[in-house]
Amino acid sequence: MLEQALERGHEVTAFVRTPSKLREYAAPVKVVKGDVYAEDSLFEAMAGQDAVMAVFGGRVKQTGPVRTTGVRNILTAMEQHGTSRLIVLSAFGVGDTRDRGPYSRLIWKLIPAELEDLEGQEEAVRNSRVDWVLVRPTILTNGRLTKQYQVGEDLTVGLFPRISRADVAHFMLDQLESDEWLHRTPGVTV
């Protein structure tokens, strides 16, 4: 996502736990070390930002409900700084896609705690006053950027639907410049 954002001419602040993972971007990217559980570090990172793209990692069993807690803290920091646009990575199988086919039912059997955390994240975002888009990709791969993917709120997917992280990043970055999916939850898959 960072490469694509820089290629599009965006000024990027990366809020991360481990800045050393971003060494290759040192010059053009402002890196703020922090933790979404620590509101003070979020407030520092939020200063001067026009938009936020929230992409969380970590397993619930290791970190607790990082997505729900993290997005709530992000929303508080956004409100304090007057930042109005929030693009959030969620997952196909959450919310109204929970019972949409065998894929959704399977992932609820495999990773229920993560999906419950994502549902909490989505609820916090929906109840906020910011301009948001909740992006729901299917299985993420490390494939290349193709710019050829399906987007919709009524997608039907097979048992093992996939999309590259690069294509998801492409779609999420598009949401910084478009209101087409504002206050909506598009699914994204190939």
Which CATH topology does 2-189 take? Answer: Rossmann fold (3.40.50)
pLDDT band at 62 (very low <50, low <70, confident <90, very high): low
The domain ranges of the chain are 2-189
Worst-scoring range by mean pLDDT, 95-104, 125-134, 169-178? Answer: 95-104
At residue 26, does pLDDT exceed 90?
A: no
DSSP state of 9: T
Torsion angle, alpha carbons of 69, 74, 76, 17, to 10:
80
Q: What is the mean pLDDT of the chain?
A: 92
pTM of the model: 0.93
At residue 70, does pLDDT exceed 80?
A: yes
Give 141's strand partners.
164
φ, ψ of residue 186 to 5 degrees: the values are: -70, 135
